[in-house]
A = this chain, B = another copy of it.
Amino acid sequence: MPSTTIAEHAAPTRRLTAKGEATRARIVEAASALVFLHGVTRTGVEDVQREAGVSASQLYHYFGDKQTLMRAVIAHQTVEVLAAQGPELDALDSFEALDRWRDGLVALQRARHCAGGCPIGSIAAEIAEDDPDARADLVDSFEQWEAPLRSGLATMRDRGALRKDADTDRLALALLAALQGGLVLTQLRRTTLPLETAIDASLELIRSYRA
């Protein structure tokens, strides 16, 4: 396409200086932290400005509106959530790895004193109905989460650790759902018990397919 004209709002690719990139990142991080603590609608743009140490014009220079900022938050939190699960997430191909992964998740929630729930799941529950674009982003985020679970279990089955008749795709989806539900209840009750119980039940079902 011709590059003689500047595609203002249409083009997502804007020339950003290293400094600009840093500012943009600071805004997204501040917004992510606030959204994690208080949710989307209770997080004001002004709050983000203060937390990130930027002016209103800066924020609106990098993000057209709050909705756009929130989609950036979703993208950022998706990366964070996957990273928080460590390299193990990409190699969940043994019962030992699954147990370590489970322990890591529980320890993380305990360190947070069970506050906050899932950074992505909370956003999903809040704006899934009102922002179709954000919903699409979130579907994609969860797909990125579910994929390594699927492939890990598939590897176990192919390797012979799980029986041939184990529907690993189904088990992976059930595991992710249990995790999400466990997080909601853990956030409410301020105990990791629901999270542990939900994940352990899913893992027990997986173990029942042990070859």
Binding site for B on A (CB under 8 A): 37-39, 41-42, 115-117, 121-122, 124-130, 135, 138-139, 142, 170-171, 173-174, 176-185, 187-189, 193-195, 197-198, 200-202, 204-205, 208
CA distance in complex: A202, B202 (Å): 8
Specify which chain B residues have a CB less than 8 angstroms from the CB of A202 in the assembled complex.
Answer: 174, 178, 201
A130 partner, pick from B38, B128, B188, beta carbons under 8 A: B38
Whether A124 pairs with B180 at a CB distance below 8 angstroms is: no
Whether A125 pairs with B197 at a CB distance below 8 angstroms is: no
Whether B188 pairs with A170 at a CB distance below 8 angstroms is: no
Oligomer: number of copies: 2
Whether A170 pairs with B130 at a CB distance below 8 angstroms is: no
Specify which chain B residues have a CB less than 8 angstroms from the CB of A125 in the assembled complex.
Answer: 117, 121-122, 125-126, 184, 187
Specify which chain B residues have a CB less than 8 angstroms from the CB of A197 in the assembled complex.
Answer: 170, 173-174, 177
CA distance in complex: A79, B126 (Å): 22
CA distance in complex: A204, B200 (Å): 14
Whether B39 pairs with A188 at a CB distance below 8 angstroms is: no
